[in-house]
Structure 1
Amino acid sequence: MNELLSLVADPAAWAALVTLVVMEVVLGIDNLVFISILSNRLPAEHRQKVRRIGISLALIMRLALLSTIAFIVGLTAPVFDLGIAGPLGAHGEPSFETAFSWRDLILIAGGVFLIWKATKEIHHNVDPAHEDTPTEPSKTGAVISNVGSAIFQIILLDLVFSIDSILTAVGMTDHLPIMIAAVIIAVVAMLLASDPLADFINKNPTVVMLALGFLLMIGTVLIAEGFGAHVPKGYIYTAMAFSAGVEGLNMLARKRKGG
Structure 2
Amino acid sequence: MFAELLTVENLGNLLMLCFLQAVLGFDNLLYISIESQRAPVAHQRSVRFWGIIIAVVLRVVLLFAMVNLIDALAEPFYVFDWEGVITGGVNFATVVFIFGGIFIIYTAVKEIAHMLTIDHLETDVQHKSGKSATQVVMLIVMMNLIFSFDSVLSAIAITDVFPVLALAILLSGAAMLLLADGVTAFLEKNRMYEVLGLFILLIVGVVLLGEAGQAAAHATHDKTMALHFFGYEVIPMSKTTFYFSVIVLFAVEILQSGYSRKLNAERHAHH
TM-score of the two chains, using structure 1 as the length reference: 0.82
Q: How much has 1:17 moved relative to structure 2?
A: 1.0
1:42-85 CA distances to partner (integer Å, 9 max, x unpaired)? 33211111111111122111111122222255322211011258
After the TM superposition, which residues 1-259 of structure 1 pair with which residues of structure 2 at under 5 Å, given as runs?
1=1, 4-8=2-6, 10-68=7-65, 69-72=67-70, 74-83=72-81, 98-129=88-119, 145-228=131-214, 229-251=235-257
Q: How much has 1:152 moved relative to structure 2?
A: 2.4
Separation in 2 of the partners of 1:104 and 1:218?
15
Which SS does the other structure have where 1:227 is aligned? helix
State, as a whole percentage, how many aligned pairs show the same letter.
31
Q: How much has 1:256 moved relative to structure 2?
A: 6.9
Q: 1:210 to 1:14 in 2, by over 3 A?
A: same
Moved more, 48-57 or 150-159: 150-159
Whether contact under 8 Å (2:56, 2:169) holds in the other structure is: yes
Separation in 2 of the partners of 1:180 and 1:115?
30
Q: 1:13 to 1:212 in 2, by over 3 A?
A: same
Separation in 2 of the partners of 1:258 and 1:131?
21
Which SS does the other structure have where 2:57 is aligned? helix
Count of aligned residue pairs for this structure pair: 240
Separation in 2 of the partners of 1:256 and 1:131?
24
Separation in 1 of the partners of 2:37 and 2:102?
22
1:87-132 CA distances to partner (integer Å, 9 max, x unpaired)? xxxxxxxxx9531101111110000000000011101111124999
Separation in 1 of the partners of 2:17 and 2:56?
15
Instruction: Give the aligned residue type for 2:112.
Output: I
Separation in 2 of the partners of 1:84 and 1:227?
16
Instruction: Give the aligned residue type for 1:18.
Output: L
Q: 1:181 to 1:74 in 2, by over 3 A?
A: same
Separation in 2 of the partners of 1:255 and 1:195?
27
Instruction: Give the aligned residue type for 1:35.
Output: I
Which SS does the other structure have where 2:90 is aligned? strand
Separation in 2 of the partners of 1:44 and 1:220?
31
Separation in 2 of the partners of 1:256 and 1:179?
49
Whether contact under 8 Å (2:40, 2:132) holds in the other structure is: no
Instruction: Give the aligned residue type for 1:233.
Output: K
Whether contact under 8 Å (2:96, 2:146) holds in the other structure is: yes
Which residues of structure 2 form unaligned runs of 5+? 215-234, 266-271
Q: How much has 1:12 moved relative to structure 2?
A: 2.5
Whether contact under 8 Å (1:72, 1:167) holds in the other structure is: no
Whether contact under 8 Å (1:24, 1:182) holds in the other structure is: yes
Q: How much has 1:245 moved relative to structure 2?
A: 3.5
Q: 1:258 to 1:164 in 2, by over 3 A?
A: same
Q: 1:90: which partner in 2? A: none
Moved more, 102-111 or 222-231: 222-231
Which SS does the other structure have where 1:75 is aligned? helix
Which residues of structure 1 form unaligned runs of 5+? 87-95, 134-138
Separation in 1 of the partners of 2:70 and 2:264?
52
